[in-house]
């Protein structure tokens, strides 16, 4: 029997047809089967920073149809929750620190009654000074956003990190060429289709609660909220059905709505649904961190990099949320290059804005924007081709990153191949054809990047439950969440291949903290590798048991057997075989377990919190992105004519799903580069709809060309590396570099809007003459 290969095939996703036909059940669809559900909402402040003087809820409490009105004094548990720290109040008690701090929760029989009750609540505030700029918050006389934060004392710094290698400041002073620039990247919204929503149901038998909420990890949601409910983790049951988009945001923005629904359900003893309006979602929930970077880049006259010095300030917003951003911006401060000397310092700083949270790329797009822009600036100053300059400096086998990690080709090192294939696709060696329109200028730009698979922390591992069924099928219980990335089909493919059964025989049970073990969140482009390895490990355990049972049946040594397509046969005598169901029945009757726990951890990392020298990522995904643009110099309007992305992802478990991830990441990167931006007035977001927060539509996108490069990772399942986040990383700097090529004008602030382009053109005209 020839073994059927399912890994590497573009098999259809199990959720695809149901989604396109409108049959997939999102949380809102589940209301149809629930007859009595209360509606919950929150009252938010009109200020970004204020002291609460008084709250009067008497009229709202007396309104017919109102089931509960909850203030901070009515909470059943600890008044705080969060992913990294329990620092976000369930309900503001004395002070509001940003526009999304809820003051009162209300549950009522219908939406009209809830809205009326909220209008009857009277809150008196004393407005306080508002801090909107993290650089101002660092000044010695700045007021504290948190006077008693659990992880930040006596300053406004949420977290900080430094990477130190060699003697960077001395190398800068001795360099042939020194470039010095300031970069800014903006706060950006995830723009997912499904707003935050949760159904909470109290369990009258156990005294616990069930939360049905879209998020990145049912276990993380449980851990983050249990204290607020006053319940042990074992009594907080979290289920995440299919998610209507997240891109990192619902790792903790879902907590805001889930804690509200849970508190109201416990208070009323009834099921409660809470859902943000689009305006509330835009104003209240976490965003991509804004960043401010001052960078120096040093090189020889031949274009060999000698040193990098960078000082980075990141806007944290009002609460900590997820905050490895300083570490990640520092560790990626040298990009994909050999840099013998580096000093990169980064810190995240509290303000009275909406908090910064996880967003596809988690700090790496901001870091790569800076280094890749400076690489093009350096190429121009040397009058060298930008690709040639990069190839002179990229990391190769045996080279070290600025964190001291040694690159290994055995872990997949396809960066050079990505650059070469992307350049071949656009014919980089030939001049870009210019427009016949006199007002149109065309340009081409490249950016190269790397992105580590996993979080890099010592506790980053994965586990899963596997259960063989009597008919030879396999059930796999995982904590991974299906957010549209196609994870379920990839997991089933790896399980089928590893176990030696048909793809159709595998069922993936997902996103339930009571039916799956802790496996980390669906973040950091880790699921395919971490859960995939855990599944393979579990399959190997079960397979060995079944081979031993089949050996008893066939009178053969189990080491001489193989399991292919549900048949256990003697390797050298395939005519001697037994079906897997028969081996399972034998195991069942001979006290051999049919269940196993699969586990996987990457090699333990060496972490240096002083100089940031570590080997935290077991592997990296590499890539190159090339953009071609056309610019109207009369209006500043520019279009993206061509988009080519090449990624080394180790092994494409499902090429179609991988291409979808690549295309989606590029589309998001285009928005980050060209248009997405929040505007504020006194700490209140005046960007609160998709009329004034622009995201790319199909009309804004060219054909998104993708090139899959497969340089196998010896530690990945079937050689795989992560692909969820890397595609977004290189887009913004490549578009910036294409504009530079077209106009001869560098840009250092995102987004690069047509108004910015036109202003820069006019400014140059004034300077020239």
Active site residues: 725
Local structure of 204: helix, strand or coil: coil
| H or E element at residue 659 | helix 655-674
Centroid of chain to Cα 601: 20
Q: Check residue 236 and report its DSSP letter.
A: E
- For the record, the structure tokens of 718 come out as 């079937």
Local structure of 734: helix, strand or coil: helix
Residue 720 has, within 13 A of its CA and on its CB side, a CA count of: 27
Centroid of chain to Cα 762: 38
- For the record, the structure tokens of 744 come out as 């001869």
| H or E element at residue 261 | helix 253-268
In this structure, the chain runs to a length of: 769
Report how far residue 433's alpha carbon sits from residue 641's, in angstroms, rounded to the nearest whole number.
Answer: 12
Asked if omega into 138 is within 30° of 0 (cis), the reply is no
- For the record, the structure tokens of 142 come out as 């700045």
Local structure of 59: helix, strand or coil: helix
Report how far residue 170's alpha carbon sits from residue 382's, in angstroms, rounded to the nearest whole number.
Answer: 22
Judging by beta carbons within 10 Å of its beta carbon (0-12, 13-18, 19+), is residue 673 exposed, middle or buried? buried
The answer to whether the Cα torsion of 587, 591, 597, 602 is positive or negative is negative
- For the record, the structure tokens of 765 come out as 């005209």
Closest to 123 in 3D by CA, of 81, 86, 69, 80: 69
As beta bridge partners, residue 84 has none
Please measure the distance between the N-terminal and C-terminal CA atoms of the chain and give it in whole angstroms. Answer: 78
Angle between helices 754-768 and 731-743 (to 10 degrees): 30
- Tokens 């993936």: give the residue: 508
Closest to 393 in 3D by CA, of 313, 454, 302, 316: 302
Contact 330, 344 (CB under 8 A): yes
């Amino acid at each position: 029997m020839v073994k059927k290969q399912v890994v590497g095939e573009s098999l259809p996703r199990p959720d695809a047809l149901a989604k396109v036909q409108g049959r997939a059940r999102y949380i809102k669809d589940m209301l149809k089967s629930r007859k009595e559900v209360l509606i919950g909402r929150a009252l938010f402040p009109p200020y970004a920073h204020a002291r609460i003087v008084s709250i009067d809820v008497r009229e709202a409490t007396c309104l017919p149809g109102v089931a509960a009105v909850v203030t901070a004094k009515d909470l059943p548990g600890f008044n705080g929750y969060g992913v990294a720290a329990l620092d976000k109040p369930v309900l503001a008690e004395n002070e509001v620190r940003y526009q999304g701090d809820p003051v009162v929760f209300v549950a009522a029989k219908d939406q009209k009654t809830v809205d009326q009750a909220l209008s009857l609540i009277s809150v008196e505030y004393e407005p306080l000074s508002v801090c909107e700029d993290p650089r101002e918050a660092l000044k010695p006389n700045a007021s504290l956003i948190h006077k008693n934060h659990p992880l930040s004392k006596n300053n406004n710094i949420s977290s900080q990190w430094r990477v130190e290698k060699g003697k960077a400041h001395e190398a800068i002073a001795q360099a042939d060429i020194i470039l010095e620039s300031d970069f800014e990247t903006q706060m950006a919204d995830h723009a997912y289709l499904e707003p935050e929503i949760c159904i909470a149901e109290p369990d009258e038998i156990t005294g616990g609660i069930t939360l049905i909420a879209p998020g990145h990890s049912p276990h993380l949601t449980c851990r983050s909220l249990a204290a607020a409910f006053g319940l042990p983790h074992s009594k907080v049951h979290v289920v995440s059905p299919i998610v209507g988009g997240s891109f990192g945001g619902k790792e903790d923005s879902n907590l805001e709505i889930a804690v509200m629904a849970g508190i109201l359900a416990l208070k009323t003893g009834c099921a409660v649904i809470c859902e943000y309006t689009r305006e509330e979602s835009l104003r209240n929930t976490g965003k991509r961190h804004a960043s401010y970077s001052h960078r120096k880049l040093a090189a020889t006259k031949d274009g060999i990099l000698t040193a990098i010095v960078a000082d980075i300030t990141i806007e944290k917003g009002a609460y900590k949320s997820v905050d490895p951003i300083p570490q990640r911006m520092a560790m990626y401060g040298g990009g994909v290059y050999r840099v013998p000397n580096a000093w990169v310092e980064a810190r995240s700083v509290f303000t009275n804005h909406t908090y910064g949270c996880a967003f596809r790329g988690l700090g790496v797009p901001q870091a790569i924007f800076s280094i890749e822009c400076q690489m093009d600036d350096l190429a121009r100053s040397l009058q060298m081709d930008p690709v040639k300059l990069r190839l002179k400096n990229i990391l190769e086998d045996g080279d070290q990153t600025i964190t001291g990690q040694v690159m290994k080709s055995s872990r997949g090192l396809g960066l050079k191949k990505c650059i070469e294939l992307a350049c071949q696709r656009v014919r980089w060696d030939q001049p870009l054809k210019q427009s016949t329109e006199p007002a149109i200028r065309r340009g081409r730009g490249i950016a190269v990047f790397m992105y580590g698979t996993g979080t890099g922390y010592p506790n980053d591992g994965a586990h899963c439950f596997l259960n063989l069924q009597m008919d030879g099928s396999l059930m796999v219980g995982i904590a991974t969440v299906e957010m549209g990335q196609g994870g379920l089909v990839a997991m089933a493919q790896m399980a089928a291949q590893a176990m030696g059964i048909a793809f159709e025989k595998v069922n993936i049970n997902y996103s339930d903290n009571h039916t799956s073990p802790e496996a980390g969140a669906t973040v950091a482009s880790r699921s395919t590798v971490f859960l995939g390895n855990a599944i393979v490990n579990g399959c190997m355990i079960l397979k060995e048991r079944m081979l031993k049972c089949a050996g008893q049946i066939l009178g053969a040594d189990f080491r001489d057997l193989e399991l292919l397509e549900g048949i256990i046969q003697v390797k050298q005598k395939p005519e001697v075989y037994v079906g897997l169901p028969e081996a399972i029945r034998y195991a069942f009757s001979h006290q051999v377990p049919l269940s196993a726990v699969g586990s996987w951890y990457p090699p333990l990392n060496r972490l240096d919190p002083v100089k940031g020298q570590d080997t935290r990522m077991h592997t990296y995904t590499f890539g190159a992105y090339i953009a071609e643009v056309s610019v109207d110099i009369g209006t500043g309007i520019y279009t993206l004519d061509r988009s080519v992305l090449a990624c080394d992802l180790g092994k494409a478990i499902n090429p179609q799903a991988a291409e979808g991830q690549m295309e989606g990441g590029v589309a998001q990167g285009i928005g980050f580069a060209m248009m997405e931006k929040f505007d504020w007035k006194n700490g209140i977001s005046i960007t609160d709809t998709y009329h004034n927060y622009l995201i790319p539509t199909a009309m804004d996108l060219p054909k998104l060309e993708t090139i899959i490069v497969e340089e196998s990772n010896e530690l990945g399942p079937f050689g795989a590396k992560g692909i969820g986040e890397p595609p977004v990383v290189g887009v913004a700097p490549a578009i910036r570099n294409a504009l530079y090529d077209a106009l001869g004008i560098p840009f250092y602030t995102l987004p690069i809007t047509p108004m910015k382009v036109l202003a820069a053109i006019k400014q140059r005209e004034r300077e020239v003459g």
